[in-house]
Structure 1
């Protein structure tokens, strides 16, 4: 079993190690990592105890095998709830989950964020006792910590071509306007939203139900690498943890809490995306829903949101901008200079005949240096490929 003191010794210095405030920060960080390995996502009792005692003192209390009466008094909860918590925590108390997760995190360049860090997304604090003790983050260069406007775009895994098209259009427009696109990296709507945000040169974040060192689904391994390269892949469970049905449902509350609004593009009547919308509603976040054909079962859930949950009807990016308080403008969203350059280069490429850089520069009206820079980015995004000394667009 990894003790708190053992883990504190592994924590990197966050300032003058001899000062008491920084020593407390190291201890708090270590304790939250231990809690992350002990609790299942959304565990209210653990959250209440951490809130009442602080992460380190709460952990030392649990390490000492408290009685249900003591835990109930410390966390201000009922005795039966405390007894159930002790019983579900017991099998994990002797594990080395935290230590092993840190070893995996070091190998995969995964950072740990805790409340109080500059990059901690304060919006997650709205979850109260259900907030995660820490976050595991891979990438992070695009991590905005809630300072930039953000929208969750979610929907069915078994999406239709209509749903994926609409998700891509909305995501691309938002990303080009500087809005962070957040989703869950699943097949269908999630994947379409992430890919469109990347293609527009914007920032996108993926919240996973398992450890962020594990690509899930495996078919999105390359997509997750691209997300981490310019944005962030985030999880509340430690590295190495497997995704489970419960963790998927609980992951949805993070997507809803971390964003300014949630837009459901397509959802069946029992879709997990409705769970995300429910979390958003409980937190007072706006909900948008994209209507679909009345005959489509893939849109039955979005129609239910419009009919029963006061969701805003979303037909395009301007509706979403208005939903989060941005001026919808004249119906168009101007891409950033970088995104505009990539669009011009992509338009100048053929998906059949490869062209030299000089030819692409002439066709796009740009300098050879700028074209080379954009071609490199387009290649990383999977939108262009080199053939000998020439370039073509990937279909």
Structure 2
């Protein structure tokens, strides 16, 4: 379980306090701040921000890297913006930690798979709920998709989430309308926790119509965010939080997505992180499934249609194989090819002699006679005084 206010802090009070303040003054997923923390620690990075000046060697390396990658970088403008925010946040971090729960790298409950994000790793995660995030994510799948989902899409998302949860797989999503909300509701019908990753503070219900849903999730799972309490969502924060959704789970399922969709942004993060990427097919006449079909056609995502297929991809190799689907079998399927040819040559109404049947089957008379005897024994045909014919079907049994 995570620690509440006042608990013993193995990661260090200074580091936790600095990270809490950084979550308020720096936008999530900023690669410059990510490397600054790597180099100087959270407290050292924050001290430079408050001074409004970064170490010259750090600036030199960052500018050289940006030039090599042909990427625009204005460190002076970036630090000025951070320093301005920091000036207005004095004392806020203590208040945030007094009322909220911040999980940071080094804590026992920190999910190590988030470290795959490198510089883009969260500075910390604000949690609301009693579940252990690391444990909940050990067996987890992200389910995301369109906000403007169809009835087919929300039904599919809910069914897949419920099936995963029943098999003790946690479901992670973003809490939005459409596919996200359906996935969380489906997961709540099962036994495993579900995790909402917000683009705002965990105390902010966005969308407001999902307030009851978030309340239920807090009781059965976790609501998490990179933003501290009270922070409102922005378009950029929605896109940036998608990397966390992709990184936390073993794989991501896209249920419905148009060609321009935030869900495809999550899909890109999953691919970059070498996570399993899956897509649910939909009607070819529905624009909201066009993004899924493109992912499948380009071989970027694996087509999945059931919970066993998802678990086969994200589960243990060799232990979680999905059953091979087959159509219904018929006794005729087990006949050899010669016997099938003879059966096809036997008339259904007017009996025919062995020679006529052998000619129609293009088989020797001796082979035909052997097959006719076997077919009669198996109940496929009848021998009459004038030849062979198919056995009429049995009448339907009474209800």
Asked if 1:51 corresponds to 2:44, the answer is no
1:278 is matched with 268
- Aligned residue in 2 for 1:155: 145
Identify the residue that residue 87 of structure 1 maps to in structure 2.
Answer: 80
- Confirm or deny that 1:136 pairs with 2:126: yes
TM-score, normalised by the number of residues in structure 2: 0.73
SS of equivalent to 1:54 = helix
Equivalent residues in 2 for 1:104-253, closer than 5 Å: 106-107=98-99, 110-141=100-131, 143-145=133-135, 148-253=138-243
Q: Distance in 2 between matches of 1:147 and 1:279?
A: 17
Contact 2:50/2:83, CA 8 A, preserved across alignment: no
CA distance in 2, matches of 1:324, 1:102: 40
Find 2:95's aligned residue among 91, 103, 121.
103
* Cα deviation, residue 283, structure 1: 0.6
Where structure 2 has 5 or more consecutive residues not aligned to the other structure, the ranges are 68-72, 326-399
* Aligned partner of residue 134 in structure 2, secondary structure: coil
Correspondence 1:232-381 to 2 at 5 A = 232-326=222-316, 327-328=320-321, 330=323
Counterpart contact for 1:261–1:324, Cα < 8 Å? yes
| TM-score, normalised relative to structure 1 | 0.74
1:330-358 CA distances to partner (integer Å, 9 max, x unpaired)? 589xxxxxxxxxxxxxxxxxxxxxxxxxx
Q: Is the CA contact (8 Å cut-off) linking 2:175 and 2:196 kept in structure 1? A: yes
Distance 1:309 1:331 in 2: 21
Secondary structure of 1:178's aligned partner: coil
CA contact (8 A) 2:157 2:182 kept: yes
> Max radius of gyration: which structure?
2
How far apart are the structure 1 equivalents of 2:58 and 2:276?
37
Query: What SS does structure 2 have at the residue aligned with 1:257?
Result: helix
For 2:40 and 2:61, locate their aligned partners in 1 and report how far apart those are by CA, in whole Å: 8
Please state whether the residue corresponding to 1:144 is helix, strand or coil: helix
Say whether the 8 Å CA contact 1:267–1:299 is kept in structure 2: yes
Unaligned stretches of 5+ in structure 1? 1-10, 16-21, 333-395
Deviation at 1:143, TM superposition (A): 2.6
Shift of 1:86: 1.3
CA–CA distance in structure 2, aligned partners of residues 134 and 147 of structure 1: 16
| Aligned-residue offset at 1:323 | 1.4
Rate the CA distance shift 1:146–1:194 in 2: closer, same or farther, 3 A: closer
Contact 1:52–1:75 (CA<8 Å) still a contact in 2? no
Equivalent pairs counted in the alignment come to 313
Supply the distance in 1 between the matched residues of 2:36 and 2:166 (Cα, whole angstroms).
Answer: 42
Match 2:47 to one of 60, 79, 88: 60
Tell me which of 27, 48, 52 is aligned to 2:14: 27
Deviation at 1:292, TM superposition (A): 0.5
